[in-house]
């Protein structure tokens, strides 16, 4: 029977299975069988009208069904059907006119003796200008290896500070950097690695107002962002300016990499015409990520960037590399430029940058979520629990999070299981719902209130705020 490969982002809704064998003669029949077996996948794969969502791509072996017969594409017993949801040649650098010092010749000697690089290639690297958007998990190995290779000018865009939770994957930083501006620590580390290169810093969020001005002075843009509005912004700016976009994304144990917006190649909108609805695809902060995964994908991005600068090899233009760390499997899927793409198509309709938060159906998140009418502060929640009244603590995180830390007496019902486990709750009781930081629990409270639980309350700030305000001995993660 045909096999359907389930991406990591959706395995939670399919009993954590990586692949499923199901009967079916077409892609549509296979999807029907899959959803019948795992109903919670429906909202992630199909619209309310039953159509395949535009931010979910389906491949039969390595062919995109959009360029075959879509859901009517036939499948055989030996075929692999991949579900790929969105999770976010030469570069024309001109003639090499720089020179290398004796110290640089020694530093890059192991590259210089390669005929694919040689003196001419090393001079191209020295003249190259690469902008790295995001100095986090992907940007860390990317920037370090570009600097080590001798890329002469590296721009870094980031406005965050180093947090302790960054250190398991963001190798630009070390423990003493916690609390520092990322750009301060990153520039210091990069220039310690290679003082001969120039590092330019952009201590600001990339927006529709500043993106074209920032990107304009660079030959190649490497996208290391972690949110959909910025991914679409980087893509559109690269297309409008004619800059290659070396793209990478990560989630849990899986990563993707490709080169977008290259001449004649597809852009990000060709791959994902529309973003997923807000909240449907969890961030790494909510879903987690294996610490070494951004290292692997970031190194691939660095490799593709260097190949573009040198004009050697076959870049990942029109090819999406999908990496599964759990299976230690690399797959390559074909990408095609969409002639109808509104940005890079034959008749583009988007000729300037737009409001990408509006396009993605979201607004920029403030540092602290605004209070909801159902919020209860941690200290007030403790008073309610200590009062002796009928009050229940409901934890809507995942079981592995529950094992890290939990509030005493809490009942665990993961958010995804809540609709089918309502019978375990009593609507006459006060129910205080919590998660890690208050977002999933607010969604749970909203659902409970809709179905008649009028005494459901959201622990504002989640278990993190409880640890800060009520019980500092409780671990934070």
**Tens of pLDDT, residues 182-203:** 999 999 999 999 999 999 999 9
- What are the tokens at 8? 């990591």
Domain extent, residue 136, equals: 128-359
Residues 413 and 285 in one domain: no
- Residue 368 domain-assigned? no
pLDDT at 142: 97
Residues 289 and 401 in one domain: no
The residues pairing with 199 across neighbouring beta strands, listed in sequence order, are 154
Whether 138 and 225 share a structural domain: yes
45-49, 124-128, 319-323: which has the minimum mean pLDDT? 45-49
Does 354 share its domain with 397? Answer: no
DSSP 8-class letter at 161: B
Q: Considering the domain boundaries, does residue 138 fall inside one?
A: yes
Output the six-digit token pair for 143: 């920037």
Q: Are residues 336 and 263 in the same domain?
A: yes
User: Which residues have CB under 8 Å from 410's CB, separation 6+?
Assistant: 393, 394, 395, 402, 434
For tokens 């909108």, name the residue: 269
276 and 318, same domain (yes or no): yes
Domain boundary among 359, 385, 404: 359
List, for residues 200-223, the tens digit of each pLDDT value.
999 999 999 999 999 999 999 999
Q: 386 and 345 in one domain? A: no
Radius of gyration of the CA atoms of the chain, in A: 24
Share of the chain above pLDDT 70, in %: 93
The confidence score (pLDDT) of residue 50 equals 86
Domain match, 73 and 163 both = no
Tell whether the torsion through CA atoms of 184, 188, 190 and 196 is positive or negative: positive
CATH number at residue 461: 3.40.250.10
CATH number at residue 71: 3.10.20.30
| Domain-terminating residue out of 52, 67, 85 | 85
- Could you report the per-residue pLDDT of 13-70, keeping only the tens digit for each? 887 788 899 999 999 999 999 999 999 898 889 888 888 887 889 999 989 999 899 9
> How sure is the predictor about 288, in pLDDT bands with cuts at 50, 70 and 90?
confident
Residues taking part in catalysis: 284, 435
Q: What is the pLDDT of residues 326-337, one digit of tens each?
A: 999 999 999 999
Decide if 117 is inside a domain.
no
Which pLDDT score, from 0 to 100, does residue 455 have? 94
What CATH number is associated with residue 187? 3.40.50.720
Whether 41 maps to a domain, the answer reads yes
* Domain count for the chain: 3
Q: Are residues 138 and 224 in the same domain?
A: yes
Same domain (yes/no): 168, 242: yes
Instruction: Identify whether 426 is part of a domain.
Output: yes
Helix (H) or strand (E) holding 131: strand 129-133
Asked whether residue 116 is assigned to any structural domain, the reply reads: no
Residue ending a domain, among 85, 106, 137, is 85
The secondary structure of residue 355, as a DSSP letter, is -
Segment 34-43, tens digit of pLDDT: 999 999 898 8
Average pLDDT value for the chain: 90
On whether both 244 and 296 belong to a single domain, the answer is yes
Quickly state the pLDDT bin for 369 (edges 50, 70, 90). Answer: very low
pTM: 0.73
- Whether residues 325 and 381 fall in one domain: no
pLDDT digits (tens, 9 = 90+) for 139-170: 999 999 999 999 999 999 999 999 999 999 99
Q: Are 287 and 231 in contact (CB under 8 A)?
A: no
């Amino acid at each position: 029977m045909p096999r359907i490969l389930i991406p990591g982002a959706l395995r939670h809704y399919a009993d954590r299975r990586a692949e499923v064998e199901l009967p079916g003669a077409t892609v549509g029949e296979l999807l029907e069988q899959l959803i019948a077996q795992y109903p919670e996948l429906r909202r992630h794969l199909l619209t309310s009208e039953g159509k395949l969502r535009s931010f979910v791509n389906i491949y039969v072996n390595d062919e995109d069904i959009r360029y075959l017969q879509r859901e009517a594409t036939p499948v055989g017993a030996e075929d692999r059907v991949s579900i790929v949801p969105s999770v976010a040649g030469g570069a024309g650098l001109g003639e090499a006119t720089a020179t290398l010092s004796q110290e640089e010749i020694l530093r890059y000697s192991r590259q210089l003796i390669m005929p694919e690089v040689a003196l001419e290639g090393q001079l191209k690297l020295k003249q190259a200008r690469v902008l790295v958007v995001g100095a986090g998990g992907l940007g860390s190995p990317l920037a370090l290896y570009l600097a080590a290779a001798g890329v002469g000018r590296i721009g870094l865009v980031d406005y965050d500070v180093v947090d302790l939770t960054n250190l398991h994957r963001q190798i630009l930083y070390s423990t003493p950097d916690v609390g520092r501006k990322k750009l301060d620590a990153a520039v210091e580390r990069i220039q310690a690695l290679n003082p001969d290169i120039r590092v330019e810093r952009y201590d600001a969020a990339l927006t529709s107002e500043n993106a074209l001005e920032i990107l304009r002075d660079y030959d190649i843009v490497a996208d290391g962002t972690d949110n959909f509005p910025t991914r679409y912004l980087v893509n559109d700016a690269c297309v409008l300016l004619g800059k290659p976009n070396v793209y990478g994304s990560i989630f849990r144990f899986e990563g993707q990499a490709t080169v977008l917006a290259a001449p004649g190649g597809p852009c990000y909108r060709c791959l994902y015409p529309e973003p997923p609805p807000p909240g449907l695809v969890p961030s790494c902060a909510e879903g987690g990520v294996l610490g070494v995964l951004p290292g692997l994908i970031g190194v691939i991005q660095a490799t593709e960037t260097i190949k573009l600068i040198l004009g050697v090899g076959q870049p990942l233009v029109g090819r999406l590399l999908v990496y599964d760390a759990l299976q230690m499997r690399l797959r390559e899927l074909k990408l095609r430029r969409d002639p109808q793409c509104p940005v890079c198509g034959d008749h583009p309709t988007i000729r300037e940058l737009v409001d990408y938060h509006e396009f993605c159906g979201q607004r920029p998140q403030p540092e602290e979520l605004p209070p909801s009418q159902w919020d209860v502060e941690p200290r007030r929640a403790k008073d309610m629990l200590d009062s002796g009244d009928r009050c229940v603590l409901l934890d809507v995180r995942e079981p592995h999070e529950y094992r890290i830390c939990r509030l005493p007496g809490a009942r665990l019902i993961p958010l995804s299981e809540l609709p089918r486990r309502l019978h375990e709750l009593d609507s006459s009781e006060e129910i205080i719902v919590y998660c890690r930081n208050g977002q999933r629990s607010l969604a749970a409270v909203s659902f409970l209130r809709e179905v008649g639980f009028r005494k459901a309350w959201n622990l504002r700030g989640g278990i993190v705020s409880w640890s800060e305000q009520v019980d500092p001995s409780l671990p934070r993660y």
